[in-house]
Structure 1
Amino acid sequence: MHKKLLYALNMLDNHQKNIATFIHLSTFSRFIFPLGNFIAPLVLWITNKDKSTFIDNHGKEAINFQISILLYTLVLGMITVPFFLFNIFSGIHFIDFNLFDSIHINIGKPSPLLYLGGALGGLAVVGFIVELALIVRASLKAKEGEAYQYPFTIHFIK
């Protein structure tokens, strides 16, 4: 049966909608304490998942999305960081400081690797903005009593 219809049959109350909404919004706690985007929704989900399937499904979605984002970030970082390191340690000097004999600053032409690394870094910034927008959207859907599935999510918890 379709989740939206199933939720309508279960007659969701405001308390269930609020908990599901706070599960999604609690991922913003990462701006307050480290790993808050995992700990806060996990605690809310574990303590409330038995109250309704609506809360259980929203909790799983929020946690799966955060794990997926972490995985994507790690992969993007493993791809991006070497481009910067290769540029720094290669023979091509983007910025050359010589402060011991005399003050000498040389700003040469940057390596194409630096451009590629910068583009990947820009992609990370765009991904971060999209992540924030998706969290807000999921929160609004939960507040309306609707099911929501984050795009690009790997379902680790089923």
Structure 2
Amino acid sequence: MSEFDNVTAPPPPPASGNPPQEDRTLALVAHLLGIATSFLGPLIIWLISKDKPNSSFATDQAKEALNFQITLLIIYVIGIILSVILIGALINMLAWLACLVLSIIAAVKANDGVAYRYPFALRLIK
């Protein structure tokens, strides 16, 4: 057994070229559903598209939106805990604002066929 057996490979880059309109629409919906449904919308889109070999763009963007929404959920929980000392409300408001702004930017980029990476997100779903 070599020392490299347990190392995971980085995720493949998104397919080059312009993804089909259906993939771009699914990616757009995955990012926008994160605003209204937290992690449930991107999770459903990811589960729908992950088994389709021709929808790699939609799968990649749904996974990115899902990771971002899980990160925000963790931040919301921390904010609720810290609301005892009154800074939690500020943290939650800033997290909500970041969710709104970054999800809209990601949706516009995904609709243009550009793979978007959120500036801060835990990569829990690989």
Bin for the TM-score computed over the shorter chain: 0.7 to 0.9
1:63 aligns with 2:78: no
Aligned position for 1:7: 16
Alignment-mate amino acid for residue 40 of structure 1: G
Aligned position for 2:89: 121
Question: Does the aligned pair in 2 maintain the 1:7–1:145 contact within 8 Å?
Answer: no
Match of 2:113 among 141, 145, 154: 145
Going by fraction, where is strand more abundant, 1 or 2? 1
| Uncovered stretches (5+) of structure 2, i.e. residues with no partner | 1-11
Question: Does the aligned pair in 2 maintain the 1:7–1:54 contact within 8 Å?
Answer: no
Q: Of the two, which has the highest radius of gyration?
A: 1
Match of 1:132 among 78, 82, 100: 100
Going by fraction, where is helix more abundant, 1 or 2? 1
Aligned position for 2:48: 47
Question: Does the aligned pair in 1 maintain the 2:27–2:111 contact within 8 Å?
Answer: yes
Q: 2: distance between equivalents of 1:21 and 1:48?
A: 13
Deviation at 1:13, TM superposition (A): 1.3
Query: Percent same amino acid among aligned pairs?
Result: 28
Deviation at 1:120, TM superposition (A): 4.1
Q: 1: distance between equivalents of 2:35 and 2:99?
A: 11
Report the number of matched residues. Answer: 113
Q: 2: distance between equivalents of 1:80 and 1:148?
A: 32
| Uncovered stretches (5+) of structure 1, i.e. residues with no partner | 30-35, 84-116
Aligned position for 1:110: none
